[in-house]
């Protein structure tokens, strides 16, 4: 009796969890009601579309993704396309789709969309890493310095002190920067600066963005857009 | 007879003269009085630290078992409010080339990626740069250049005069919960070379502005664990984790350092002293937002952080109470005190040293 009941609960649990997972995937691939399939803008592998500035979602942290969807739904993160979509999704849908993209492999894409975008804007020259430049005379590139050293005269930590080595992200809350296009990264930093996007927990990005000039924003965005996703140390 | 016009001009001239004299007088006496008040306030601040705790004794104030000798806590006025020291180390781009430059660069590498670059001597997930921000360059975050010009110095911790290299050995033993590299080890030579280079142009002076952490006035309301817990949850846990274990990248690199537990500094480290950690936190945490916590919050959260278990003091004498009374007899240490029904440090003998397996960047 007890065994049977336990078993049926277990089966129910498995079905339920599969269901939740399937929901996220379904929304991503087919949409839900009035909501278009996520992949129509964010790519089949969740890799984003660099030329349009649509961000990569695959492999980003679940709580980070969910926080963004909630911010779109509440209207605190402003974006004409994403606000109505997030609003139309139920709270459970938002959670499911966030988990779905969080579980997708980060390196699923063959090509590096961001570098081609940077190339098309004529900024493709890969920034020499600060470690390498220390060897020879020329001043290190601003983007590489901000990413790996920060600017402590301005109490500005390096990007990688929170986003991890190579900007590959940390945990569920600190998203990878590498693998995003320069256009997307620059737009976000600018939005943090102008407060069009909420600065996130503890106002962390608000404090950072206020210390970046427009040129800094461009340089550091280009740096991450041209960094190989898996490799760079 | 003066014409009214002349009288007016003369009057204006006299008035101008008076104003100039008055400004000069303020410059001379007014500023001095202001400075005197500031100095008096500073002088007062230090004894208060020990006065506010239950058993004030000169020994308690002098005994800093951990990394920064107590002199490093004496910082210039105004440092806490963001006025950093005047000395600036050379730029990284000015690093010399050639053999010496290579060793300096190696020192920097050990400093920022300690477990990977010096695995034989590191027993936890910390890196020098976790506390010495900006690769040891930042004033008010125990900069290497200020430490370099402060040694040799007498240390109450060792009850002897330590050289800079011996000081570095202490960092490995306590803060890195590891093993002291032998004298002259390439790791120590590299670190010393890096510190020497950073100190280019600095005066040999243990009171160099920017050394250690800015002095923190005594807590107005004492120090409280529960308040500290709340401060931690609101300001620290997002990066360092609710369990204090820090956060790693997917490939295992400790991006946010563990604040307590087996991967953090041991009970012998300077950061295990509540006053040291409070001063560091106030000036430098949350990262990039130093000075935003109140003094009270810094004290409370420092007590909270240091009220958790961490690796045994390598000088452990065989009993917690004996180790406390010989090495931690101060209200700045929670070692041997009971927290939540458990005596901190009652974890037996130090674990045998295991070289770091922390993956690199």
CB contact at 8 A, B166 and A185: no
Say yes or no for a CB contact (<8 Å) between B288 and A130: no
* Minimum Cα–Cα distance from B88: chain A residue: A153
Residue at token pair 């002190």 = A161
> Considering only CA atoms, which of A24, A28, A104, A21 is closest in space to residue A59?
A104
> Considering only CA atoms, which of B210, B220, B213, B211 is closest in space to residue B295?
B220
Q: What's the residue count for chain B?
A: 361
Residues of chain A with pLDDT under 70: 1-22, 108-139, 230-233
Report which DSSP code applies to B255: E
CB contact at 8 A, B174 and B265: yes
Over residues A175-201, the pLDDT tens digits come to 999 999 999 999 999 999 999 999 989
The distance from CA B57 to its chain's CA centroid, rounded to whole angstroms, is 23
Q: Which helix (H) or strand (E) holds B256?
A: strand B254-256
Query: Measured between CB atoms, does A206 come within 8 Å of chain B?
Result: no
| pLDDT given for residue A33 in this prediction | 86
Same domain assignment for residues A103 and A144: no
Please tell me the distance from the alpha carbon of residue A170 to that of residue A173, in angstroms, as a whole number.
7
Find the CATH number of the domain harbouring B112: 1.10.760.10
Token pair listed for A225: 């857009």
Q: How confident is the prediction along chain B (361 residues), in pLDDT tens digits per residue?
A: 456 566 655 555 555 455 444 444 444 443 333 334 433 333 333 333 333 333 333 333 333 333 444 444 444 444 444 444 479 999 999 999 999 999 999 999 999 999 999 999 999 999 999 999 999 999 999 999 999 999 999 998 889 999 999 999 999 999 999 999 999 999 999 999 999 999 999 999 999 999 999 999 999 999 999 999 999 999 999 999 999 999 999 889 999 999 999 999 999 999 999 999 999 999 999 999 999 999 999 999 999 999 999 999 999 999 999 999 999 999 999 999 999 999 999 999 999 998 877 665 5
Please tell me the distance from the alpha carbon of residue B263 to that of residue B252, in angstroms, as a whole number.
13
With respect to residue B259, please indicate whether it lies within any of the assigned structural domains.
Answer: yes
CB contact at 8 A, B97 and B105: no
Give the domain extent around A226: 112-233
With respect to residue B361, please indicate whether it lies within any of the assigned structural domains.
Answer: no
Same domain assignment for residues B232 and B178: yes
| pLDDT given for residue B81 in this prediction | 41
Please tell me the distance from the alpha carbon of residue A220 to that of residue A167, in angstroms, as a whole number.
11
Please tell me the distance from the alpha carbon of residue B145 to that of residue B198, in angstroms, as a whole number.
5
Number of domains in chain B: 2
Pairing of strands B160-162, B153-155: antiparallel
Same domain assignment for residues A230 and A187: yes
Residue at token pair 């992200």 = A169
Same domain assignment for residues B182 and B285: yes
> Considering only CA atoms, which of B230, B258, B228 is closest in space to residue B243?
B258
Please tell me the distance from the alpha carbon of residue B21 to that of residue B1, in angstroms, as a whole number.
29
Say yes or no for a CB contact (<8 Å) between A208 and B289: no
With respect to residue B312, please indicate whether it lies within any of the assigned structural domains.
Answer: yes
Same domain assignment for residues B63 and B102: yes
Token pair listed for A217: 């924003």
Query: Measured between CB atoms, does A162 come within 8 Å of chain B?
Result: yes
Please tell me the distance from the alpha carbon of residue B358 to that of residue A230, in angstroms, as a whole number.
19
Same domain assignment for residues B28 and B136: no
* Residues belonging to chain B with any Cβ–Cβ distance to chain A shorter than 8 Å: 82, 92-93, 95, 97, 105, 133-135, 137-138, 235, 238-239, 247-251, 253, 255-256, 286-290, 360-361
DSSP string, B26-56: IIIIIHHHHHHHHHHHHHHHHHHHHHTSSS-
With respect to residue B10, please indicate whether it lies within any of the assigned structural domains.
Answer: no
Facing residue for A134 by CB, picked from B82, B93, B360: B93
Domain boundary among A69, A93, A110: A110
Find the CATH number of the domain harbouring A155: 1.10.760.10
| pLDDT given for residue B143 in this prediction | 97
Same domain assignment for residues B175 and B273: yes
DSSP-derived 3-state class of residue B91 = coil
Please tell me the distance from the alpha carbon of residue B240 to that of residue B144, in angstroms, as a whole number.
24
Same domain assignment for residues A33 and A97: yes
* Residues of chain A positioned with their CB less than 8 A from the CB of B137: 152
**For chain B, percent helix, then strand, then coil, each to nearest 5?**
45, 5, 50
Same domain assignment for residues B66 and B105: yes
Cα angle A147, A50, B250 (rounded to 5 degrees) comes to: 50
Q: What's the residue count for chain A?
A: 233
Facing residue for B286 by CB, picked from A130, A173, A202: A202
Number of domains in chain A: 2
Cα angle A77, A78, A84 (rounded to 5 degrees) comes to: 100
| pLDDT given for residue B107 in this prediction | 98
Residues 124-143 of A with CB under 8 A from B: 130, 133-135, 137, 139-140
Domain boundary among A81, A110, A139: A110
Same domain assignment for residues B140 and B33: no
Same domain assignment for residues B78 and B26: no
With respect to residue B8, please indicate whether it lies within any of the assigned structural domains.
Answer: no
Same domain assignment for residues B23 and B84: no
Say yes or no for a CB contact (<8 Å) between A202 and B238: yes
With respect to residue B146, please indicate whether it lies within any of the assigned structural domains.
Answer: yes
* Minimum Cα–Cα distance from A200: chain B residue: B238
Query: Measured between CB atoms, does A169 come within 8 Å of chain B?
Result: yes
| pLDDT given for residue B26 in this prediction | 41
Please tell me whether the peptide bond between B108 and the residue prior to it is cis, using omega within 30 degrees of 0.
Answer: no
Say yes or no for a CB contact (<8 Å) between B239 and A162: yes
Give the domain extent around B23: 16-51
Same domain assignment for residues B185 and B251: yes
Say yes or no for a CB contact (<8 Å) between B235 and A202: yes
Say yes or no for a CB contact (<8 Å) between A149 and B134: yes
Please tell me the distance from the alpha carbon of residue B138 to that of residue B303, in angstroms, as a whole number.
24
- Count of CB pairs separated by less than 8 Å, A with B: 69
**Cross-strand bridge partners of residue B261:** none
* Minimum Cα–Cα distance from A60: chain B residue: B250
Facing residue for B137 by CB, picked from A139, A152, A174: A152
* Other Cβ atoms closer than 10 A to A85: 22
Same domain assignment for residues B34 and B122: no
Q: To the nearest whole number, what is the mean pLDDT of chain A?
A: 82
* Residues of chain B positioned with their CB less than 8 A from the CB of A174: 247, 255
Q: How far is A232 from chain B (nearest CA, A)?
A: 9
Same domain assignment for residues A76 and A157: no
The dihedrals phi and psi of A201, each to the nearest 5 degrees, come to: -50, 135
Same domain assignment for residues B20 and B136: no
Say yes or no for a CB contact (<8 Å) between A155 and B288: yes
């Amino acid at each position: 009796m007890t065994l049977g009941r336990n078993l049926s609960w277990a089966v129910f649990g498995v079905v339920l969890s599969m269901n939740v997972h399937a929901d996220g995937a379904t929304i991503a691939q087919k949409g839900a009601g009035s909501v278009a399939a996520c992949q129509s803008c964010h790519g089949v592998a969740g890799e984003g579309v660099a030329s349009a500035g649509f961000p990569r979602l695959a492999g980003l942290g679940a709580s980070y993704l969910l926080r963004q969807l909630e911010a779109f739904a509440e209207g605190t993160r402003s974006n004409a396309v994403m606000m109505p979509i997030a609003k139309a999704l139920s709270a459970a849908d938002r959670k499911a789709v966030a988990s779905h993209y969080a579980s997708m492999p980060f390196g699923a894409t063959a090509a590096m969309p961001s570098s081609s975008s940077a190339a098309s804007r004529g900024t493709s020259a890969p920034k020499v890493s600060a470690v390498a430049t220390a060897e020879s005379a020329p001043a290190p590139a601003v983007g590489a310095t901000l990413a790996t050293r920060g600017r402590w005269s301005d109490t500005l930590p390096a990007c990688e002190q929170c986003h991890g080595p190579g900007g590959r992200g940390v945990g569920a809350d600190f998203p990878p920067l590498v693998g995003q296009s320069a256009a997307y990264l620059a737009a976000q930093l600018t939005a943090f600066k102008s407060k069009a996007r909420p600065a996130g927990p503890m106002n962390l990005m608000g404090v950072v963005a206020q210390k970046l000039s427009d040129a800094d924003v461009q340089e550091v965005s280009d740096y991450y857009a041209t960094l190989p996703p898996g490799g760079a140390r | 007879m003066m014409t009214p016009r002349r009288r007016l001009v003369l009057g204006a001239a006299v008035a101008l003269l008076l104003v100039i004299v008055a400004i000069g007088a303020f410059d001379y006496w007014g500023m001095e009085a202001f400075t005197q008040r500031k100095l008096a306030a500073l002088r007062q601040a230090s004894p208060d630290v020990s006065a506010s705790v239950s058993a004030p004794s000169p020994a308690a104030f002098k005994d800093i078992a951990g990394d920064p000798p107590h002199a490093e806590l004496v910082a210039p006025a105004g440092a806490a409010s963001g006025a950093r020291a005047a000395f600036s180390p050379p730029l990284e781009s000015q690093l010399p080339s050639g053999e010496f430059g290579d060793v300096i660069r190696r020192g920097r590498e050990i400093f920022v990626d300690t477990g990977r670059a010096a695995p034989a001597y590191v027993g936890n997930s910390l890196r020098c740069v976790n506390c010495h921000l900006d690769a040891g360059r930042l004033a008010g975050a125990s900069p290497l250049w200020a430490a370099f010009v402060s040694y040799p110095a007498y240390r109450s911790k060792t009850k002897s005069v330590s050289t800079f290299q011996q000081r570095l050995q202490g960092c490995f033993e306590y803060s890195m919960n590891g093993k002291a590299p032998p004298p002259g080890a390439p790791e120590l030579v590299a670190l010393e070379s890096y510190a020497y280079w950073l100190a280019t142009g600095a005066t040999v002076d243990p009171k160099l502005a920017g050394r250690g952490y800015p002095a923190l006035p005594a807590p107005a309301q004492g120090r409280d664990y529960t308040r500290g817990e709340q401060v931690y949850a609101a300001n620290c846990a997002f990066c360092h984790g609710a369990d204090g274990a820090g956060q790693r990248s997917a490939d295992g690199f400790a991006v946010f350092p563990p604040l307590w537990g087996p991967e953090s500094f041991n009970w012998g480290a300077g950061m295990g002293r509540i006053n040291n950690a409070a001063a560091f936190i106030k000036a430098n945490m949350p990262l990039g937002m130093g000075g935003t916590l109140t003094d009270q919050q810094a004290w409370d959260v420092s007590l909270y952080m240091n009220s958790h278990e961490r690796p045994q003091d390598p000088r452990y004498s065989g009993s917690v109470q004996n180790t406390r009374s010989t090495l931690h007899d101060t209200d700045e240490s929670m070692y041997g005190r009971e927290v939540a029904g458990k005596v901190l440090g009652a974890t037996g003998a130090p674990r045998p040293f295991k070289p770091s397996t922390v993956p690199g960047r």
